[in-house]
């Protein structure tokens, strides 16, 4: 086994760049086409590198990873973890100067697209290590810290784990209970608390643990208390005051390790604070931002796998002397699966391109995660349906696919929390006129947790027009549609704030609709950019299937956007509240026909 390396080292990416992302610019009243056109082109040397690495990984998977066995055993073999390190899979995103391969975000996403469908538990080992486990060190670590720890992390001698969630603190970072008390005599912090549902927790040695440092002059319970600590277990996995809980019995990803991390007077050198005291909240937010795009990439890979299985079955299976592939209801499913996967792929690699250009991608990454994980769930379900009774049998991959993919809509921020984040970002850049709303919109950070982010109120600006001028002329109607609804979205956000004032943060019925419009817009624009590039490269005739996808998706997206935007004014939200209240009061279903 050998480590594949790039010729160039990719520098650490931080998300707090001076250049806002396309969607943030859109919210602020600017339609910056330069951020999304042309569609990111993958250099030939990168394609060659990733192709070679993907081939090496597939060979490794075929030789060493028995997916059915490890899933049944509920155990990921430790020698396979070591093998992943020897292969170089644990250091893909680590710069070369620290022993890694220095993959760009685009290259890393492609590898996660490859790894996920081969074995989802292996994807967790690799992804939990690189996408979030060691990411605080990559983004915020000092040079001394990086030189000390990254070489062993790149080689897989240490595996990383991200430790934020607690029994009482999921999306709500304000509920974080783990404490770190400074001992000036030893220049150490004493950590006490419990972290829950930690991926790789059973065998990791490098833990990024978030804890509160109670100090005079710092508001108790505020985010300013939070710091990120690197907690390093010894080679035998032990550390005084540190222990691991039992492995959780899970619905899916059964071979992956998930357990509690228990800290009871665990001493950690002050040197091990990553990003400085009081910056832990920012470290957590930006780390989670980086992981979401790769979750979208994994979803692309899973969707492609399901489409392949569905097409194979549909073209071979005959009923009524006809291939079921020729029935329009099956065609509809295959078309939707294929087109939506193309759209998701466009979103993911558009976003990866933003990362590589050092552009803020937090919103786009959230869109990829929400849209992608929900698409994968639906695609597996549809592929199972096409397979008929076979799909319900354990010998086929659909059941495990459903079990393994379900957590994706919860991982790294539930899709509900991320919808709030996407929508509330539309209220950013507050003006002087509504300073009270600006102040109120700082509260969702504590109320909704890490993933709502630093939402502020809407800046009242003026926009003369939106126009996509770089889209190929053959797609002019679709480009005009996207521009139209981008302007409508901005006005809708402004109206929401003026109508709801401080209460806008609690209008989740409306925020859900706004988020879905934003995702449809980004999906459509990413697709138009990619198809435009395809036309310019291949010509209209050869790009015709992709043009048809762009037109089909624009048609579907328009209907959803119109419905969601209209429902900001005309809805039955009060009735939904009343119905849910009835269920809460009854402790369940309140309308049993028999009166039981």
Point out the residues that are catalytic.
412
Is the CB of residue 515 less than 8 Å from the CB of residue 489? no
Dihedrals phi, psi of 241, to nearest 5 degrees: 80, 5
Query: CA 7, 13, 18, 20 torsion: positive or negative?
Result: positive
Neighbours of 489 (CB within 10 A): 22
Residues in CB range of 379: below 8 A, 6 or more apart: 302, 303, 306, 307, 337, 340, 341
**Helices of type H across 278-320:** 280-316
Output b/e per residue, 196-210; b: 16+ Cβ within 10 A. Answer: bbbbbbbbbbbbbbb
From residue 248, alpha-carbon distances to 147, 244, 407, 414 in Å are: 34, 11, 14, 20
Kind of pairing between the strands at 226-232 and 258-269: unpaired
Rounded to 10°, the helix 398-405/362-387 angle is 160
Cα–Cα distance for residue pair 132/211, rounded to 1 Å: 17
From residue 168, alpha-carbon distances to 230, 386, 452, 583 in Å are: 22, 42, 18, 25
Provide the CB-side half-sphere exposure for 460 (13 A, CA). Answer: 11
Q: Which region holds residue 35: left if phi is over 0, alpha if psi is between -120 and 50, else beta? A: alpha
Residues in CB range of 233: below 8 A, 6 or more apart: 204, 205, 206, 207, 239, 242
Residues in CB range of 385: below 8 A, 6 or more apart: 333, 391
Residues in CB range of 111: below 8 A, 6 or more apart: 50, 53, 54, 57, 89, 92, 103
From residue 32, alpha-carbon distances to 222, 451, 465, 584 in Å are: 36, 25, 12, 46
Cα–Cα distance for residue pair 552/337, rounded to 1 Å: 12
Of residues 357, 291, 285, 364, the one with CA closest to residue 26: 364
Residue listed under structure tokens 């119905």? 579
């Amino acid at each position: 086994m050998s480590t594949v390396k790039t010729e160039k080292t990719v520098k650490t990416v931080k998300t707090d760049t001076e250049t806002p992302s396309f969607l943030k610019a859109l919210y602020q009243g600017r339609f910056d086409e330069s951020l999304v056109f042309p569609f990111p082109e993958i250099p030939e040397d990168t394609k060659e590198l990733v192709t070679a690495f993907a081939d090496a990984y597939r060979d490794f998977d075929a030789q060493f990873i028995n997916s059915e066995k490890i899933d049944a055993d509920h155990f990921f073999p430790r020698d396979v973890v070591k093998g992943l390190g020897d292969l170089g899979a644990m250091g893909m995103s680590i710069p070369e100067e620290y022993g890694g391969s220095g993959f760009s975000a685009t290259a890393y996403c492609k590898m996660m697209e490859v790894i996920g469908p081969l074995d989802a538990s292996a994807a967790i080992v690799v992804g939990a290590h690189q996408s979030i486990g060691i990411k605080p060190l990559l983004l915020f670590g000092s040079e001394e810290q990086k030189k000390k720890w990254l070489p062993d992390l790149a080689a897989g001698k240490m595996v990383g784990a991200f430790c934020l969630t607690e029994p009482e603190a999921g999306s709500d970072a304000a509920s974080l209970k783990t404490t770190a008390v400074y001992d000036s005599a030893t220049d150490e912090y004493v950590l006490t608390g419990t972290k829950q549902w930690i991926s790789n927790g059973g065998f990791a040695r490098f833990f990024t643990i978030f804890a509160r440092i109670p100090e005079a002059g710092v508001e108790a319970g505020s985010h300013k208390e939070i710091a990120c600590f690197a907690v390093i277990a010894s080679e035998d996995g032990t550390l005084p005051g540190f222990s691991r809980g039992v492995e959780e019995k899970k619905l899916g990803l059964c071979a992956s390790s998930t357990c509690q991390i228990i800290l009871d007077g665990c001493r950690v050198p002050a040197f091990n604070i990553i990003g400085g005291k009081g910056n832990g909240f920012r470290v957590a937010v930006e780390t989670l931002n980086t992981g979401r795009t790769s979750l979208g990439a994994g979803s692309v890979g899973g969707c492609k796998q399901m489409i392949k299985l569905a097409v194979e079955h549909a073209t071979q299976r005959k009923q009524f002397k006809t291939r079921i592939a020729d029935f329009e209801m099956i065609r509809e499913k295959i078309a939707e699966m294929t087109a939506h996967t193309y759209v998701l792929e466009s979103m993911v690699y558009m976003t990866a391109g933003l990362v590589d250009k050092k552009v803020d991608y937090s919103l786009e990454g959230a869109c990829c995660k929400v849209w992608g994980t929900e698409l994968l769930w639906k695609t597996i379900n549809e592929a199972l349906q096409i397979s008929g009774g076979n799909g319900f049998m354990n010998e086929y991959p659909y059941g495990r696919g459903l079990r393994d993919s379900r957590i994706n809509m919860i991982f790294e921020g539930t899709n509900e929390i991320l919808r709030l984040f996407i929508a509330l970002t539309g209220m950013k850049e507050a003006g002087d006129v509504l300073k009270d709303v600006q102040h109120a919109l700082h509260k969702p950070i504590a109320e909704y947790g890490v993933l709502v982010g630093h939402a502020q109120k809407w800046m009242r600006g003026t926009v003369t027009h939106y126009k996509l001028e770089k889209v190929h002329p053959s797609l002019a109607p679709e480009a005009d549609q996207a521009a139209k609804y981008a302007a409508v979205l901005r006005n809708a956000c402004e109206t929401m704030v003026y109508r709801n004032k401080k209460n806008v943060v609690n209008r989740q019925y409306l925020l859900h609709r706004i988020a879905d419009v934003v995702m449809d817009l980004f999906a459509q624009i990413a697709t138009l950019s990619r198809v435009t590039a395809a036309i310019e490269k291949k010509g209209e005739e050869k790009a015709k299937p992709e043009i048809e996808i762009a037109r089909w998706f624009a048609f579907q997206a328009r209907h959803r956007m119109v419905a969601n935007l209209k429902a900001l004014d005309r809805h039955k939200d009060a009735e939904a509240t009343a119905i849910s209240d009835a269920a809460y009061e009854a402790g369940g279903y309140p309308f049993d026909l028999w009166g039981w």
